[in-house]
Amino acid sequence: MLVHICCSVDSHYFLERIQEEFPDEELVGYFYDPNIHPYGEYRLRYLDVEYSCKKLGIKLLEGAYNLEEWLKKVKGMEHLPEKGDRCTVCYDDRLETTVKKAQELGHDKFTSTLLISPKKSQEKLDKIGHNLQSLTGVEFIFRDYRSGNGQEKQGQRVKENQLYRQNYCGCLFGLEPQRAAQKKIMDEMFNPISNQVLPESIEERLELYNNRTKLEEEEKEYKIIKQRFLNYRLLSGKVNAAKQTIPSYIMCYSTVNRNRTNGRVEYTKDGISYLNRDEVKLMSIEKFNELANTNYSCVKELMYNPLRFELEQEIRNKVIKNPFDLSALIVLDEIADVKYEINLHAETYEDVKEAII
């Protein structure tokens, strides 16, 4: 039996039940989810499914990540709600691709873990699956494992196995209205030019769950916990000196009132220059190297090869004595006696992230 898999949260308990009900079947998982975006989130979900299937002793295959083809199929349906026609197109694509893969592999049955997801229409999936069965002769196995206390048991399995519990279905068009309703920015879509791993980013989650898998393999005790913290995203920033844009590195948790300010250096002490407005502080790349024990030749080099976010916070703490102070702290190649104009659009917000203890 070929089992289409969407994510480990939905698949782990579903696969356990299928194993119990079909003990003589050779089960093969098939991860096919071209709708998941961005690609980092897709990799994270695949790696977590791989981890889950290994625990269950189930072989796993990865389908093609043909996002562009999927986008063409749902063109014009971007703003439709979940469980609407866009989702139906998505069900069609995933189940049709799965049954073709089943035929290719010589399987005589197929099913999908989408059936257990509370956000998916079992009625539509049942209709699509049985229509494909009549067209191909490959039997569609419909099971409602979410009824009764199935959802509760599913949640227990997720906690017991410390699986990645994603906070959106994976589709960009489902994420946008969800974050708008929550009045949150779509920080999943942020990928800074520096490639710095940001707090509660998909890249940070990838690191965390890779570490979880290593701890499992080493049979070390651990637990994934949640922490509330102040998150930060720099949306845009620019510094002009004497009306000329200059290279600048805006450090984490830097903000200014109304996203812009200007001023001159009023005071300098221990290599930190203080502007006469909006608590802005400047330092040269030479001073940054001294504090960070680095050897960057210029600000551009720092921009494209920054410190880890946590180390950058430590530098902020050395300068301001508070890692979560929101004053703008900016690194320049050198500090001059000119008027500085600063455009800085950033967001700070309460957030929750996972950590391993």
pLDDT of residue 274 exceeding 90, the answer is yes
pLDDT confidence of residue 191: 85
Tell me, yes or no, whether 194 lies in a domain: no
Residue 168 shares a structural domain with residue 61: yes
pLDDT confidence of residue 299: 98
pLDDT confidence of residue 82: 80
pLDDT confidence of residue 278: 92
Structural domain that includes position 59: 2-189
What is the arithmetic mean of pLDDT over 12-36? Answer: 96
Residue 237: strand pairing partners: 344
Residue 84 shares a structural domain with residue 178: yes
Note if the pTM is more than 0.95. Answer: no
Residue 338 shares a structural domain with residue 246: yes
Tell me, yes or no, whether 206 lies in a domain: no
Number of domains comprising the chain = 2
Residue 270 shares a structural domain with residue 130: no
pLDDT confidence of residue 106: 97
Instruction: DSSP for 197-254, please give it.
Output: --TT-HHHHHHHHHHHHHHHHTT----EEEEEEEEEEEEEEEEEETTEEE-EEEPTT-
C-alpha 202, offset from chain centre:
3
Tell me, yes or no, whether 185 lies in a domain: yes
pLDDT confidence of residue 148: 86
- Cβ density class 74-105: b for 16+ within 10 Å, e for less: beeeeebeeeeebbbbbbebbbebbbebbeee
pLDDT confidence of residue 199: 95
What is the arithmetic mean of pLDDT over 128-149? Answer: 96
Residue 264 shares a structural domain with residue 161: no
In angstroms, rounded to a whole number, what is the distance separating the alpha carbons of residues 170 and 167? 9
Tell me, yes or no, whether 223 lies in a domain: no
Residue 235 shares a structural domain with residue 116: no
The one-character DSSP state at 336 is -
pLDDT more than 90, % of the chain: 89
- The angle at the Cα of 198, spanning 192 to 203, to the nearest 5 degrees, equals 90
pLDDT of residue 40 exceeding 90, the answer is yes
pLDDT confidence of residue 198: 96
Tell me, yes or no, whether 98 lies in a domain: yes
In angstroms, rounded to a whole number, what is the distance separating the alpha carbons of residues 27 and 99? 14
What is the arithmetic mean of pLDDT over 337-355? Answer: 96
Residue 120 shares a structural domain with residue 44: yes
pLDDT confidence of residue 315: 97
What is the arithmetic mean of pLDDT over 301-321? Answer: 96
- The tens digit of pLDDT for each residue in 189-240 reads 888 889 999 999 999 999 999 999 999 999 999 999 999 999 999 999 999 9
- The CATH number of the domain where 109 resides is what? 3.40.50.620
Confidence class of residue 126 from pLDDT cuts 50, 70 and 90?
very high
The contacts of residue 20 (CB under 8 Å, 6+ apart) are: none
Residue 185 shares a structural domain with residue 235: no
pLDDT confidence of residue 169: 85
Of 161, 189, 217, the domain-final residue = 189
pLDDT confidence of residue 84: 86
Of 160, 189, 218, the domain-final residue = 189
- The tens digit of pLDDT for each residue in 148-203 reads 899 899 999 999 999 999 988 889 898 988 898 888 899 988 888 899 999 999 99
pLDDT confidence of residue 190: 85
Tell me, yes or no, whether 77 lies in a domain: yes
- The tens digit of pLDDT for each residue in 80-124 reads 888 789 999 999 999 999 999 999 999 999 999 999 998 899 999
What is the arithmetic mean of pLDDT over 312-325? Answer: 95
Residue 142 shares a structural domain with residue 59: yes
CB 325 within 8 A of CB 253: yes
CB 205 within 8 A of CB 199: no
Residue 260 shares a structural domain with residue 115: no
pLDDT confidence of residue 168: 86
Tell me, yes or no, whether 286 lies in a domain: yes
Tell me, yes or no, whether 53 lies in a domain: yes
Of 189, 205, 221, the domain-final residue = 189
Report the candidate in 91, 90, 42 with the shortest Cα–Cα distance to residue 63: 42
Half-sphere exposure of 93 (CA within 13 A, CB side): 23
Report the candidate in 186, 210, 180 with the shortest Cα–Cα distance to residue 200: 186
